[in-house]
Amino acid sequence: VDVENFLKRIPQANMQGKCFVACILKRNAIIKGNKISSEQLLEANRAVYGEDSEVMSRLKTAIAECTKVVDSIFEVCEYASVFNDCMHIKMEHILDQVMMERRLEAIGKITTDPEQWGDTEDEILKLVKDEL
């Protein structure tokens, strides 16, 4: 159940699950010396998001905010679990926000005259339709 909850991003309900999260974060060097390694977390996310400056900038802000949330937690399992939950919530919101902004920007570039639509406009409309 702990692994399943972790993969589904469901907060861990018991200490065993919370320590599982701590173990994962430690094994990936996200936690070093019982503290979050912002640099390592950013590097791990670069593998997923590449050099997307908007996402990475917002990720840095989320890391700072979530680090403050766990600052007074001394038990490493609780610390890791709360940080992990905080990051999942913030990243979900960040990614939704970035994607919505990009969709709105793309829609704003579409001409309202279908006779003038080219491949770019058709592709944008397909992406928007898929999301609706």
Task: Return the CATH number of 2-94, one of 3.30.1370.160, 2.60.120.10, 1.10.238.20, 3.10.180.10.
Answer: 1.10.238.20
Domain map of the chain by residue range?
2-94
In the DSSP assignment, the letter for residue 12 is P
In this structure, the dihedral spanned by the alpha carbons of residues 97, 99, 101 and 104, taken in order and rounded to 10 degrees, is -140
CB 89 within 8 A of CB 97: no
52: left (phi over 0), alpha (psi -120 to 50) or beta: beta
pLDDT tens series, the chain, 132 aa: 566 766 676 777 789 989 989 999 999 999 999 999 999 999 988 887 787 788 888 889 999 999 999 999 999 999 999 999 999 888 877 777 777 776 767 666 655 566 666 676 667 666 666 655
